[in-house]
């Protein structure tokens, strides 16, 4: 069921946390890592994403880890809020999961690479393009291996 929720989230993302340049840089690095894993070890990436989905995490956390917020709104909010503080940790958790199931090292951030919160829309789009393929395959595999009759699903 979580897999279906993630697929729905990838299609209808509308989360509005505060974003920083540091967070955008982490999102960029994670995207780069996901792309390298997708190209070089797709089975390892599928296992990593499957494990993230099946962990006991709130849906909001899965949304931030896998779908990335599409829009960013700047609010006057205490930057020490737990929600804000865990945004970088969520990206690092995705990197750790991929690292656990692949032999691909986490990419290093280049000296001339720098992304700001304005880049998050594009970074989110890139993330969903890759992970949409992975989660669709995971969902298809789950349906095919299920004992429930799914004849009405295309």
pLDDT score at 13: 45
Q: What phi, psi does 59 have (nearest 5°)?
A: -60, -35
The residue extents of the domains of the chain are 2-139
Percent of the chain with pLDDT over 70: 68
Tell me the C-alpha distance between 123 and 19, whole Å.
13
Tell me the C-alpha distance between 80 and 96, whole Å.
24
Taking only the tens place, the pLDDT of each residue in 54-113 is 888 888 788 878 886 554 434 434 444 565 667 788 889 999 999 999 999 999 877 777
Tell me the C-alpha distance between 93 and 137, whole Å.
22
pLDDT score at 3: 65
Tell me the C-alpha distance between 132 and 44, whole Å.
16
| Between 143 and 85, the higher pLDDT residue | 143
Whole-model pTM?
A: 0.74
């Amino acid at each position: 069921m979580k897999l279906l929720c993630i697929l729905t989230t990838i299609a209808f993302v509308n989360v509005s946390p505060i974003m920083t340049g540091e967070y955008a840089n982490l999102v960029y690095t994670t995207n780069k890592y996901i792309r390298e894993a997708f190209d070089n070890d797709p089975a390892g990436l599928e296992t990593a994403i499957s494990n993230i989905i099946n962990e006991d995490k709130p849906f909001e956390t899965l949304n931030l880890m896998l779908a990335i917020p599409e829009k960013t709104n700047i609010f006057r909010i205490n930057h020490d809020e737990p929600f804000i503080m865990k945004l970088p940790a969520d990206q690092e958790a995705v990197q750790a999961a991929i690292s656990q199931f692949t032999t691909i090292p986490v990419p290093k951030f280049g000296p001339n690479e720098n992304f700001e919160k304005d880049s998050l829309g594009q970074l989110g789009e890139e993330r969903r393009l890759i992970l949409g393929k992975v989660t669709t395959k995971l969902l298809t595999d789950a349906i095919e291996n299920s004992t429930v009759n799914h004849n009405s699903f295309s």
